[in-house]
Amino acid sequence: MPKVTIDGTEIDAPDGINLIQAAERAGIEIPHYCYHPGLSVVGNCRMCLVEVEKAPKLQIACNTRVADGMIVHTRSERTIRAQKAVLEFLLINHPIDCPVCDQAGECKLQDYYMDYDAQASRFPLGKKNKKGKALDVGSGVMLDQERCILCARCTRFFDEITHTSELAIFERGDHCEVDVYPGRKIDNKYAGNVVDICPVGALTEKDFRFRMRVWYLHRTPSVCAGCERGCSIDIYHHRGRIYRYKPRYNPAVNGFWMCDEGRHGFPALQGETRLTVPLVQEKDRLVAETWASALRRLASRIREFGSANGANSIGAVIGAQSTNEEAFALKRLMVDTIGSDRLATVSWSPPGASGDDELLIRANKNPNTRGLAALGLPAHGLDVLANAVAAGELKMLIVMRADLVRILGEEQFVRRFGALDYMVVLDTDANETCQMANQVLPIAAYPELEGSFTNFQGRVQRLSQAFPPPGQALPAIEALARLGHALDGGERPSSAKAVFAEMAAAESCFRGLSLEALGPNGAELAGPNP
């Protein structure tokens, strides 16, 4: 392994990495704009110029591979002069419109100016070049050509990652501008990534811009539930509301990127239809009640059906939107407490949803299909349940995170499940199935809970709670623990960590794993993979 000395610190650097990466290992920042580890090296911004001993000129760190014995100075007089020079050059034609720029607070021009320049401008304001502002270039991306520093990250993303090349650099010299081709717009499902990788305020997101100053936002690492890929994301939120998702680097799952469908998936989680109190059907109307009353009522129904018709007259449907812990908790409640093995899963994608592509998007729009399979739950089984209803064997159904009426269509639902005597729904939103339920229990959406999903590759990834669920909604594992208590008086773990530990002890696929040890990139399922 080559040994490199950066600012006096000797670093063992793996072959092939560049000086920016090597410095990072020593906790030294080499400022850069155009370099992005997910894209090719162009070396155009010149911000990462550093002094390498024995080289006559300053070298760009992004295009300089480590070599044994290399001695690098990132804070030498020459380096500092070059850094100040590049920042001065970048700012002479920049509009300095930070007060009205949505990037303010997470802008690399602002940050590096404070860290590496901090000089008054020698360039007269009135002589700045004028270019296009607030241009809608398609796919929810807004372009400000005056703020652009022409690092070509966005053009490289569309050239190298999506291969759609909608953006290009036009003109020459300081008249250069990023733009779409005449009459064309950005049209691909990954456009939002260019907003993320734009180091300045040139590309902003139409939906997000001007909605929240970024310094008010909190960031919680999580997993996108938009499809079975389960891209690692950061949830940006403020006072219980999500403002945006951004991809979080995960080399095993999504690299640096995420799709726009996933990125724009969060408004569905905070709509008008969120359930905030337990509901019970009274005279064809759903009316609110307390959790205590709801769970007492549900426990007594379960006991009644069990004693009247046997435990197998009670069944459960688990949607593949459920977390591993939720599915495990419901499975265990059904099998161990109630004594029924009538379990089915639903992994449903809406008609017309996007199919598999070559980058990230998967046709299966459920984040945890693989996790349910890993728990030994039947891949489908709705038909089996419907047959049992028809045969008069199944009387009561517990439905978690599966909108059966939407999935089957109302007519089919009524034909197959209309004969049920009692249906209880655990879900986040007042969907059509809730309208037909005898009881509805409000549960947390995934940004509001701790837990895990297993993606289609068999990688178990951790969800973190960004903020508590709305109203009286509870994480489903807590609701199920309380229900278990109401049934037999026994204590059950209600934290995701503890449920996961039980799951790891009971389920071979999860053996050896723990929620804490999943780490930021998740971990492979253990044992025999289904």
- Which chain residues interact with another protein by CB under 8 A? 41-47, 49, 57-58, 60, 63, 81-82, 85-86, 88-90, 92-93, 122-123, 127, 129, 149-150, 169, 171-176
In the complex with another protein, which residue's Cβ is closer, 39 or 385?
A: 39
CB 109 within 8 A of CB 200: yes
Q: What is the closest distance, in whole angstroms, from the C-beta atom of residue 479 to another protein in the complex? A: 57
Q: What is the closest distance, in whole angstroms, from the C-beta atom of residue 103 to another protein in the complex? A: 18
* Cβ neighbours of residue 94 closer than 8 Å, sequence gap 6 or more: 109, 128, 146, 147, 149
Q: What is the closest distance, in whole angstroms, from the C-beta atom of residue 172 to another protein in the complex? A: 5
Q: What is the closest distance, in whole angstroms, from the C-beta atom of residue 150 to another protein in the complex? A: 7
Distance of CA 325 to the CA centre of its chain: 18
Question: Per 3-state DSSP, what percentage of the chain is helix, strand, and coil (rounded to 5)?
Answer: 35, 20, 45
In the complex with another protein, which residue's Cβ is closer, 151 or 437?
A: 151
In the complex with another protein, which residue's Cβ is closer, 176 or 288?
A: 176
In one letter, which amino acid is 312?
N
In the complex with another protein, which residue's Cβ is closer, 63 or 309?
A: 63
Beta carbons within 10 angstroms of residue 232's beta carbon: 27
Tell me which H or E stretch contains 60. strand 59-60
Q: What is the closest distance, in whole angstroms, from the C-beta atom of residue 33 to another protein in the complex? A: 8
DSSP H stretches of helix in 60-200: 77-92, 108-112, 153-156, 192-197
Q: What is the closest distance, in whole angstroms, from the C-beta atom of residue 122 to another protein in the complex? A: 6
Give phi and psi for 31, each to the nearest 5: -65, 145
Q: What is the closest distance, in whole angstroms, from the C-beta atom of residue 82 to another protein in the complex? A: 6
How many residues does the structure list for the chain? Answer: 530
In the complex with another protein, which residue's Cβ is closer, 49 or 191?
A: 49
In the complex with another protein, which residue's Cβ is closer, 60 or 394?
A: 60
* Residue 341, both tokens: 């093995």
Measured CA to CA, the distance from residue 520 to residue 509 in angstroms comes to 20
In the complex with another protein, which residue's Cβ is closer, 42 or 104?
A: 42
In the complex with another protein, which residue's Cβ is closer, 172 or 285?
A: 172
DSSP H stretches of helix in 319-427: 324-332, 369-374, 382-390, 404-408, 410-417
Q: What is the closest distance, in whole angstroms, from the C-beta atom of residue 413 to another protein in the complex? A: 58
Is the sign of the CA dihedral 274, 277, 281, 287 positive or negative?
negative
Q: What is the closest distance, in whole angstroms, from the C-beta atom of residue 198 to another protein in the complex? A: 16
In the complex with another protein, which residue's Cβ is closer, 200 or 476?
A: 200
* Cβ neighbours of residue 182 closer than 8 Å, sequence gap 6 or more: none
Measured CA to CA, the distance from residue 340 to residue 313 in angstroms comes to 8
In the complex with another protein, which residue's Cβ is closer, 48 or 338?
A: 48
* Cβ neighbours of residue 88 closer than 8 Å, sequence gap 6 or more: 117, 119, 121, 122, 123
Q: What is the closest distance, in whole angstroms, from the C-beta atom of residue 43 to another protein in the complex? A: 5
Beta-carbon-side half-sphere exposure of residue 34 (alpha carbons within 13 Å): 22
In one letter, which amino acid is 301?
R
* Residue 142, both tokens: 């807004």
